[in-house]
Structure 1
Amino acid sequence: MTEPVAIWRADLRRINGWLLGLLACALPLSTSAVSVFAVLLILLGLVEGSWWRRRREILAHPLCATLSCYLALHVLGLLWTADLTGGFEVLEGLWKLLLLPLFLTMTEPQWRRRQLVLFLLGMTAAALISSLVWADILHLPGVSPAHPTKRVFHVIYNPMLALAIFVLLHELFWSTLRPAQRVGLVVWLAFLSWNMFITEGRTGQVVFVLLVIFVLTLLLHRQWGRLLLVLAVGLPLVFSLAYQLSGNFQRRIGQVQEELSAFGLRNNTSVGLRLVYSINSAHLIAEHPLIGVGTGDFNQAYAAMNKRNSEDMPNTDNPHNQYLLTMVRLGLPGLVALLAMFWCQWRIGWSRHDPAWRLQLAFPLFFGCIMMADSYLTAYETGILFVFMGAVLYQKTATSSQQAQSADLNVALPQGEGV
């Protein structure tokens, strides 16, 4: 390769690294911007050519291998699906997962800091906007102080906010920081944590608590008595403060209690519908445990089951649970392939070869939990988030283990372990 071409490719690779970070920044702010950045990354990535030069290495990456199995099962599932049009629509919705091999060529251990910081800045901007709406200072169409995120965006926003908070907690506890910087991080964390409970996403609030417990477990893993004491005192205190200070949180908790108590008498509620979806999906899995109903037949199969068990309830194309959706479509092999991706991420983190191993452990815990509340792997923003984090946290090069040990990965400072 001539020197000018090598320089040009290196420059293009750096541009792609920045664009990948900007895509993450746009995730909570603008779907259109995410799409624009994704298209640019595809085009520039194809031109730059690392994906081809490193194809064997990338395809051998365990996360790419397990993702390939998951996607291949969806293609194979077309063989026993009656609705081929629906099957191809499902495959079309999975296109974003195909970005993982390309994104793996657009990040390096030394770029992780920048790309995660851009994600944090995007989440902070979204939190600031929703906080101003909640305070009735900023007036935007489609939002109000009672509903500070657009329509049902809280389903996506709050889980991503929980992940951003964990990244900051990781920085606070496992980085070398000056006192002023530590104070700044505490203020930043306090703001995002407060925003978590003035917005409406219950899934995000639950996974926030789980990630905080995970942080405490990492900090006090050899002091179980102290850990149990902190959990016994801290969790009720946080819940009580959130309940007393946030009308939105108080209202959502009351709504859950009311809808659970009314289940069986009045099922056409947010919680009631989710329970009905889960029950009917479980019946479908029991009838088709080995290979499912096929990639494109969920809608038809669910409608038939709904008519048998709960004909007064509406049909759905999403049981609001990634595990149930995958098992209805593809049976036990689909579930195994799905879990294999997250097991692969967990094993990479458990090896502790990377300074960010705690993040590598936390991400599959985070994503595995939220998938019990919705089909987040198929949702647009969280599907892109999975691919972004998969590339940034788990990327490998020929010398990645050596680079990861020495690279500066600190979010706030070029010191310490950081991310």
Structure 2
Amino acid sequence: MMRFKLYKLNLAVFSAFIAGAAIPISTAAQNVGGGLLLLSFFLSISSWDEFKIACRQPFAIAGLALGAALVLGTLWTSASQNEAWNFVWKLRAYYLIPIFLFVFSIAKVRYALLISFAAGTFLSVILSCWAAWFNYPIFHAIHGDWFIFRTHTYHNYFAALLAVGLLSGVLTKKFTGLWRWIAITAFVLTSYDILFLVAGRTGQLVYLLMIGLVLLLWNWRLGLMLGAILVLIGAFLLPKYSDAIQRGLSNTQSDLAAYSQGNSYTSVGLRLEWHKQSKLLIQEKPFIGHGTGSYKGEYARIYGVKDGPLTSSNPHGDYLWLSVELGILGGSLLIALLLAAAWQGRNLDSAWKMTLYAMLSGMGISTLANSFFVDNITGLAFVLLTCALLNGQKKMELSS
């Protein structure tokens, strides 16, 4: 019996290790790791009363509420039932939050996920720097945009999560001795990679905002002063010395100029057009929306074109996407997910809380111009990492 229990624990740890390492590297392995975590849950659950506790936590309730709303939305959707239920299935990670909260209540399992995520992300940072320094593109890297395994948006976001975690640990003195210097070195290298080597405008901006939030949570007076310095650096020095940021600003300016002249066929222009049409769809049915899975068909209807560059199955803005399909409740449920996680994590130890809150703010801001909630890569990563962090050390544990 003891041997079987050890086997189940080892499976959960192995599954978490695979899932964490895969987040910045491989979608297939990430899904495999998530599936193995589910299997380890069913093998390890011994009392459903324990699971009920996980189901009653705010983050779990918010995820289940989102699932319930999507299922109800299939009743009045203008899409086919196949399309509607495919969208329900696409967001499956949120309905599994209670299971992941339960699994990561085991310390070895959550540390396996977090450590392997940090290792996989830092590997991508090291390879990105190596490719840039030797001017030798590897994997997905291209000259001037040195992302490795993921697109530059995902690369920068995951690297930002690593950096804010390291900074939180350094500021709260969780890292001591040699580990402190290793964490500082990794933080500097990761920041350099995000701000100078990988051309992801959203990721760069969100990263600076996340760093500012960590500083404020650490010490609001000193953090406010350091945040002001950070703003000055970001506004005046980075555009001057960072080729990646120079290129991003130049592309944004040219995209906006083109859009003002009627050309929407640019990265920024397409997003502005998708957002514009999505808002019109929301105005048609602001309270109940057009139903689950209806976005693509409704967008084609209102835009009047079924095929072409300006048609869309993804508005690159999840608040708009869910509001089109479920009305104002849809976008509100995404905000509720973030607020529920923040509320549930209010009693965490400082380092865990700072990292969690920075991640939640980064997720909430990034999804204004991307589909971070709906996309499987960032959606599953968000659920797994949030559930692990919410099971971190509490303040009362440290004082007892």
Contact 1:51 1:105 in 2 (8 A): no
1:199 aligns with 2:198: yes
Q: Give the direction of change, closer, same or farther, for the CA distance of 1:95–1:204 in structure 2 (3 Å limit).
A: same
Give the number of the structure with larger relative contact order, counting CA–CA contacts within 8 Å between residues 6 or more apart. 1
* Distance (Å, rounded) in 2 between the aligned partners of 1:32 and 1:270: 27
Q: For structure 1, which segment, 86-95 or 10-19, has the greater mean C-alpha deviation from structure 2 after superposition?
A: 10-19
TM-fit CA distance, 1:127: 1.0
Shift of 1:232: 3.6
Offset of residue 330 of structure 1: 0.3
Structure 2 letter corresponding to 1:294: G
88, 92, 108: which one pairs with 2:89?
92
Shift of 1:101: 2.3
CA distance in structure 2 between the partners assigned to 1:403 and 1:285 by the alignment = 45
1:116 is displaced (CA, Å) by: 1.9
Moved more, 330-339 or 192-201: 330-339
- Aligned equivalent of 1:263: 259
Partner residue of 1:303? 300
Which of residues 17, 26, 29 in structure 2 aligns to 1:30? 26
Preserved contact between residue 17 and residue 107 of structure 1 (Cα < 8 Å): no
- Gaps of at least 5 residues in structure 1 are 408-419
- Say whether residues 1:188 and 2:186 are aligned partners: yes
CA RMSD across the alignment: 2.8
Contact conserved, 2:64 with 2:94, CA < 8 A, in 1? no
Q: 1:177 to 1:390 in 2, by over 3 A?
A: closer
User: 2:70 aligned with 1:74, yes or no?
Assistant: yes
Deviation at 1:165, TM superposition (A): 0.8
Tell me: CA distance 1:9–1:104, structure 2 relative to 1, closer, same or farther (3 Å): farther
- Letter in structure 2 aligned against 1:143: A
- Distance in 2 between residues matched to 1:380 and 1:311, nearest whole Å: 25
Single out whichever of 19-28 and 36-45 deviates more from structure 2.
36-45
CA distance in 1, matches of 2:183, 2:56: 38
5+ long unaligned stretches in structure 2: none
- Rate the CA distance shift 1:148–1:359 in 2: closer, same or farther, 3 A: closer
From the superposition, tell whether residues 63 and 141 of structure 1 become closer, same or farther in structure 2 (CA, over 3 Å). Answer: closer
Distance 1:401 1:146, change over 3 A: closer
Distance 1:99-1:403 versus aligned 2 partners, 3 A rule:
farther
Which residue is equivalent to 2:121? Answer: 123
Counterpart of 1:168 in structure 2 is 166
Q: C-alpha offsets along residues 34-65 of structure 1, whole Å, 9 cap, x if unaligned? A: 12222322223322335846331122122111
**Residue deviations 1:71-108 (CA, integer Å, cap 9, x gap):** 11001000001222211121121123333222223223
Q: CA distance change for structure 1 residues 403 and 389 in 2, over 3 Å: closer, same or farther?
A: farther
| Percentage of pairs with the same residue | 24
The one of 22, 26, 40 equivalent to 2:36 is: 40
| Pair 1:211 & 2:210 matched | yes
Q: Secondary structure at the match of 2:119?
A: helix
Cα 1:110–1:21 shift into 2, 3 Å: same
Q: Is the 8 A contact 2:291 2:325 kept in 1?
A: yes
Task: Label 1:175 to 1:365 Cα distance change in 2 as closer, same or farther (>3 A).
Answer: same
The structure-2 alpha-carbon separation of the partners of 1:29 and 1:297, relative to structure 1 and needing over 3 Å to count, comes to: same
Does structure 1 residue 373 correspond to structure 2 residue 350? no
SS at match of 1:117: helix
Given that 1:12 and 1:48 are in contact with CA atoms closer than 8 Å, whether structure 2 keeps it comes out as yes
Match of 1:107 in 2: 104
- For residues 254-308 of structure 1, the C-alpha deviation after alignment (integer angstroms, 9 at most, x for no partner) is 1011111222312110001101111111111111100100002111111122239
Question: In 2 relative to 1, CA 51–142 (structure 1 residues): closer, same or farther, beyond 3 Å?
Answer: farther
Identify the residue that residue 142 of structure 2 maps to in structure 1. Answer: 144
The residue correspondences of 1:150-161 to structure 2 (distance < 5 A) are: 153-161=151-159
**1:199–1:349 CA distance, 2 compared to 1 (3 A):** same
Structure 1 residues 314, 343: closer, same or farther in 2, change over 3 A? same
- What is the alpha-carbon distance in structure 1 between the residues aligned to residue 98 and residue 378 of structure 2? 17
Shift of 1:138: 4.3
The answer as to 2:284 corresponding to 1:274 is: no
Tell me, in whole angstroms, the C-alpha distance in 2 between the residues paired with 1:403 and 1:114.
23
Q: Which moved more, 1:259-268 or 1:146-155?
A: 146-155
TM-score by length of 2: 0.89
What is the alpha-carbon distance in structure 1 between the residues aligned to residue 22 and residue 150 of structure 2? Answer: 18
Distance 2:191 2:395 in 1: 35
- 2:149, 2:123 → 1: CA distance? 18
TM-score of the pair, normalised by structure 1: 0.86
CA–CA distance in structure 2, aligned partners of residues 152 and 36 of structure 1:
17
CA shift, 1:332, in A, is 1.6
Letter in 1 for 2:371: S
Distance 1:31 1:7 in 2: 32
Q: Hey, what's the Cα distance between the residues in 1 that align with 2:46 and 2:268?
A: 47
Q: 1:20 aligns with which of 13, 16, 19?
A: 16
Contact 1:350 1:361 in 2 (8 A): no
Q: Say whether the 8 Å CA contact 1:348–1:360 is kept in structure 2.
A: no
Return the alpha-carbon distance in structure 2 between the equivalents of residues 68 and 361 of structure 1.
21
Match of 2:285 among 282, 285, 288: 288
Q: How many residues align?
A: 396
